[in-house]
Structure 1
Amino acid sequence: MNFHYDEEAIRYLKEKDAALGAVIDRIGPIERPIDADLFSALVNNIVGQQISMKAQETVWGRMLAKFGAITPENIQRATVEEIQQCGLSTRKATYIHEAAEKVITGECDLAALRDMSDKDVIDKLSQLRGIGKWTAEMLLIFSMGRPDVMSWDDLAIHRGLRMLHHHRKITKELFQKYKRRYSPYGSVASLYLWEVSVGILPEMKDYAPLTEAEKKKRLKQRKELKRAEKQTL
């Protein structure tokens, strides 16, 4: 199952932002899979924190092989050590085990989240150790399919906005302006901003000021180029 959006969302975004509309036309439809099982998605998000996508897929495959379906019951029956054996840190394994226990005891009622506002879902999920605001927002999009989520804490969103609108920096005020512009389809706008941020359109560049490391790298490249030019004279 993919994140669902319709032609009305596309029409609205193109009407509100010509630059984004041009990107939408060039990229075309985006298909991003979602995991409608909120507990499974929650665990997968904890697994993927601060590791590469490839490493996440490897660990997730081991968990599926070891536990079968990633359900609160299967995870709660395991020990933290058994979860850790899949390639997780003790901290992550503990967070996952605690989440399973809280779901089983009813302290965290995942089914009830379906009827809550985005803000209330974020507040509730953030009470779980290992789940911060950004992770909760990603669960809103990629598990619950919520249509209007745009994360201030997502650096790729910042980069996408800089590249799209030629900003050197995305301030909170500027971010809120775009968030209001794209509402009620912030999640769809986010899909396209993520695509822009990874360089899918090679002519689009990031306008953020260079870091000191980047400045040194460019200076070194210029010196090497001048040296090479002298050698050819």
Structure 2
Amino acid sequence: MDRDARLRKAVLWLKKKDPKLKRIIERVGPCTLTMMGRPYPVLLRAVISQQLSNKAAATMMDRVKEYYGNGKNFPDAKTLAGLSVVKLRKAGLSVAKSETLRRIANAYLDGSISDRKLSKLQDQEVLDLLCGIKGIGPWTAEMVLMFSLDRWDHFSLNDLILRKGIQRNYGIDENSKKEILEFTAGFSPYRTIVCWYLWRDHAAGI
């Protein structure tokens, strides 16, 4: 069964699982969950995007690619590791984010992280490895898990939009993380797809 067929099967399962989720799915339409690329660029993208609007993040990413990459892609690990914080600051990045990007590049250079290694690890192992780098928090690591490694069974508890979506649709307080985690466990093994629909539902302002 190819990925599109498995995705349709997952959505059908979710529609049968929960009537409220069924209504969200029918409002949003077919799931078009796609991957953003290899872990390395997705990780850089997630770090830059932390606590920024989509527009501001896109501007900074474009600058990093233009100034230090080839215009379309981020600089490779060797190039990035060789950039000073001062240079990265010229792209609009904060000192903290500049330092984090350099740490990621060095981790790739010394082999403690690689795209291949990440692809072979279990979900929690991926999160533990990435969060072991200063400046990478759970949300950033989760974005790699969900949008690069194509793991379908993860609910990003650290994403406020998702917690608000659960509160709006199911009445569970957005700050009751334990309760949200217990509730969303019922959507396993397709929790990532639930996240995708809650994000899209929010974006549509429905």
TM-score, with length taken from structure 1: 0.78
CA RMSD of aligned residues (A): 2.0
- Aligned-partner Cα distance in 1 for 2:95–2:26: 45
Displacement of 1:200: 2.8
Of structures 1 and 2, the one scoring higher in RCO (CA 8 A, sep 6+) is 2
Q: Which residue identity does 1:66 align to in structure 2? A: Y
1:157-201 CA distance string (max 9 Å, x none): 111111212345563443133322111000000011123334632
CA contact (8 A) 1:42 1:139 kept: yes
Aligned to 2:85: 80
Q: Mean alpha-carbon deviation: is it higher for 41-50 or for 121-130?
A: 41-50
Runs of at least 4 residues of structure 1 off by over 6 A?
Answer: none
- Aligned-partner Cα distance in 2 for 1:183–1:196: 20
- Aligned-partner Cα distance in 1 for 2:145–2:165: 20
Q: Mean alpha-carbon deviation: is it higher for 136-145 or for 107-116?
A: 107-116
Q: Unpaired runs of 5+ in structure 2?
A: none
- Aligned-partner Cα distance in 2 for 1:51–1:134: 13
Displacement of 1:29: 1.8
Among 181, 186, 189, the residue aligned to 2:194: 189
Q: Mean alpha-carbon deviation: is it higher for 61-70 or for 113-122?
A: 61-70
Percent of aligned positions with the same letter in both sequences?
27
Q: Unpaired runs of 5+ in structure 1?
A: 202-233
Among 84, 106, 111, the residue aligned to 2:111: 106
Instruction: Kindly indicate whether residue 24 of structure 2 is the aligned counterpart of residue 23 of structure 1.
Output: yes
- Aligned-partner Cα distance in 2 for 1:168–1:126: 26
Aligned to 1:214: none
- In structure 2, the CA distance between the partners of 1:175 and 1:77, relative to structure 1 (3 Å rule), is same
TM-score, with length taken from structure 2: 0.88
CA contact (8 A) 2:11 2:31 kept: no
- Aligned-partner Cα distance in 2 for 1:35–1:196: 20
Aligned to 2:52: 51
Q: Which residue identity does 1:13 align to in structure 2? A: L
1:122-148 CA distance string (max 9 Å, x none): 000001121111111111111111111
Q: How many residues are treated as equivalent by the alignment?
A: 199
